[in-house]
Structure 1
């Protein structure tokens, strides 16, 4: 799997997270949980970008592993936002699905990279 596909999907996801963050802050006046999902949701793509210029295969795996942790954390914050009724189930479902896809792609990328060292 190419890093560019992962890069593009993570960037699109970050844009969705930013849009949702603005909506939650403006409409619901919720600032704590939404800020957390903004941070972790945008960090995924930033870490993938960092990994593109990793110094070594181990550095690449390390950065991708941190991106995976951020994706998992993002799911946690999305769950909290849904269960505390700050986002609607349909909004949650779309974001959750996109994030789970990123998790699967990251797991696959990390496994492939590990098999080549």
Structure 2
């Protein structure tokens, strides 16, 4: 039975949404640079989430979750640059930016919870 809420699948879907954005970017120096950054920063959370699931300790788990949050924040900045330039229409970017914000909140809360569980 598939879980209703699967964070790994959500992160993979996020990567695919980012890919759709990357493929629509114009062929300019800035857009190509941002596209490269987006490829790295948006794929990293899904890959690191897989690693976090087999963390060797609570401290290792928190570290991996912090890496995920860092990469999601980098992705957010890239999306904001694309919006501010503007390299694409807002209607293409805003749903993905919203998903990014939700993922940021989920991982920030997970880190907070994991840290508080360490002190118990």
Give TM-score scaled by structure 2 length.
Answer: 0.86
Matches within 5 A, 1:17-96: 17-24=18-25, 28-29=26-27, 30-96=31-97
Superposed CA RMSD in Å reads 1.5
Q: Secondary structure at the match of 2:6?
A: helix
* Counterpart in the other structure of 2:15: 14
Corresponding position: 1:108 with 2:109 = yes
List runs of 5+ in structure 2 lacking aligned partners.
none
Q: Which has the larger radius of gyration?
A: 2
Moved over 6 A (4+): none
User: What do residues 53-80 of structure 1 show as CA deviations (whole Å, max 9, x unaligned)?
Assistant: 1111100000000100111111100011
Give TM-score scaled by structure 1 length.
Answer: 0.89
List runs of 5+ in structure 1 lacking aligned partners.
none
Give 1:46 deviation, angstroms. Answer: 1.1
